[in-house]
Amino acid sequence: MSTTKTINTKEYQLHEGDTGSAPYQVAMLTQRILDLTDHLNVHTKDFSSRRGLLKLVARRRKLLDYIKSNSEEKYREVIKGLGLRR
């Protein structure tokens, strides 16, 4: 019952080899969140993974706030590209 949705993280790199920019980190976190969500749909009592998921969501939220404070246009682009609702 996995969705196996994958995100093309190359689209969010600012340059070749970029692994630290906020949009790239948000894309990577979103991929991990999707994978953990699939895991938790199967293993409903895995509370330690659920805690990890909540920590990832919080970290993504902070990064999105950072992107929004610097560039509203980049924020909208990332949100739309990843299909996040906000």
Residue 6 tokens read as 């994958």
Question: Is the CATH number of domain 16-82 1.10.3720.10?
Answer: no
What b/e sequence results for 9-24 when a residue is b if at least 16 CB atoms lie within 10 Å of its CB, and e otherwise? beebeeeeeeeebbbb
Single out the residue of 36, 40, 31, 43 nearest to residue 5, CA to CA.
Answer: 31
**What pTM was computed for the model?**
0.92
What does the pLDDT profile of the chain (86 residues) look like in tens digits?
A: 556 788 999 999 999 999 999 999 999 999 999 999 999 999 999 999 999 999 999 999 999 999 999 999 999 999 999 999 87
Q: What is the DSSP string of 28-42?
A: HHHHHHHHHHHHHHH
